[in-house]
Structure 1
């Protein structure tokens, strides 16, 4: 997720990113059904968080933002995600280290408290996050972070325009598009159509390998939420093989008849 800090007459943007398994990876549930298997699985940045990073970098390129800070909470693998954000154009990286065992049960409530505390510590005036992760689809972190900070929020953003101390956000809603005007500081969650992220080239990633990341220790936060079981259900096929065309046409006729 990204965020920015206001430094008159400029701003600093900070974005928060989540590390997850790529959508192309096959998901496997642990035998005890307490979560998914992550050993040996390649991780990458959550696509919506990648869009948030791109938007923060674009604001900096337009001279509307003075600094972009990349933040990620999790085990050591999260540093790869932060380095990708640095290769895209972020200025600094903050890694809130969470042991792998605790990371599996890390809830949006806990992440929101961490981000709110970091936003206050860094003195930023804008948080840019992906609207949701594509693994758990919670869509909660941005909203709860705004609540903890008591900041206005613009969720599902498809367009962001910064004008002085005001932010105009075009939101994608069920009925179409909605435009809201927010007074900074504010929280914005990125939707799919906000932008198309640039490709983080290998040379840029290699240049970021030696950059120092600020390592922060996770505070013990109790969310009161515990994962009981995790089940992966294979979708049942609704298709059946018919022996000949006559049986096929009779089935189609039966379906059409009942639809009418």
Structure 2
């Protein structure tokens, strides 16, 4: 069984980003970038499936700029077999376009399972996995906290819902998006980092996938970006009656 894992290059979660002075977007100059944390969990899960014998090959795919090769090499150092970089230039690619690109890659590679992080920490869209499921007409298990290969053609996914846990049985091929509690990603050892430099990594364009440049044209326009307003200092009240009075007449929430 081939497993395809989508990974995204994002601003490192430890970095505090700043808004550009003209409000046109975020200032990403000289900012540390890394693999999206949810995607790290997806890579780890795919590698565990291979180590258990359930998967035969783990393929990573990233859609973005040429520097996304570094992100793919990180996943290869963790234990993935090979990578695919679909270069689309500097512009941000929206979830629907990413889903269409992943659909083409999944079909060309003839994979049985696609694993994605449930969302990226830069835009928090949480859309790509669901859109990919619809485009491929494959069953999906989102927000997975446990994944188990029940039979060669069945996948059991436990997902977190508002009321607790829900267990689904999916017929392969299928889509899975990962939640934080699925696993703890491993650190790549120095020998594996060196080995990752020699693992195959293909660079493709949209034309290689027989896709039009039109699919990456943005459907949304960002008109302005601004930082959140500074948090105002709180006040102390002497009694419950004073608190209720302020909530009613000053905050107007009662």
- Which interval holds the TM-score relative to the shorter structure? 0.7 to 0.9
Q: Who is 1:98 aligned against?
A: 88
**Are the equivalent residues in 1 in contact too, given 2:148–2:157 (CA < 8 A)?**
yes
Q: Who is 2:195 aligned against?
A: 207
Once the 2 structures are TM-superposed, how far is the Cα of residue 230 of structure 1 from its aligned partner?
Answer: 4.1
**Are the equivalent residues in 1 in contact too, given 2:153–2:172 (CA < 8 A)?**
yes
TM-score, normalised with respect to structure 1 = 0.86
1:73 to 60, 63, 73: 63
Does residue 125 in structure 1 map to residue 115 in structure 2? no
Once the 2 structures are TM-superposed, how far is the Cα of residue 77 of structure 1 from its aligned partner?
Answer: 1.6
* Superposed CA offset, 1:72-127 (max 9, x none): 11112211110111011100100111211x2x2x1000000000000000000110
Once the 2 structures are TM-superposed, how far is the Cα of residue 249 of structure 1 from its aligned partner?
Answer: 5.6
Instruction: Give the whole-Å Cα distance in 1 for the aligned partners of 2:62 and 2:216.
Output: 19
Once the 2 structures are TM-superposed, how far is the Cα of residue 146 of structure 1 from its aligned partner?
Answer: 0.7
**Are the equivalent residues in 1 in contact too, given 2:94–2:218 (CA < 8 A)?**
no
Q: Who is 1:189 aligned against?
A: 177
* Superposed CA offset, 1:134-188 (max 9, x none): 1110000000001110101000000011122001110111111111111000000
* Superposed CA offset, 1:215-257 (max 9, x none): 000341155513222423234323247xxxxxx5627773278
Q: Who is 2:222 aligned against?
A: 228
Instruction: Give the whole-Å Cα distance in 2 for the aligned partners of 1:173 and 1:249.
Output: 38
Q: 1:226 to 1:249 in 2, by over 3 A?
A: closer
Does residue 33 in structure 1 map to residue 8 in structure 2? no
The CA RMSD over aligned residues, in Å, is: 2.1
TM-score, normalised with respect to structure 2 = 0.88
- Count of residues in Structure 1 that have an aligned counterpart in Structure 2: 241
State the 4+ residue runs in structure 1 displaced beyond 6 angstroms.
256-260
Gaps of 5+ in 2: 248-253
Once the 2 structures are TM-superposed, how far is the Cα of residue 71 of structure 1 from its aligned partner?
Answer: 0.6
Gaps of 5+ in 1: 1-10, 242-247
Q: Who is 1:140 aligned against?
A: 127
Once the 2 structures are TM-superposed, how far is the Cα of residue 25 of structure 1 from its aligned partner?
Answer: 1.1
Q: Who is 1:15 aligned against?
A: 5
Instruction: Give the whole-Å Cα distance in 2 for the aligned partners of 1:32 and 1:238.
Output: 25
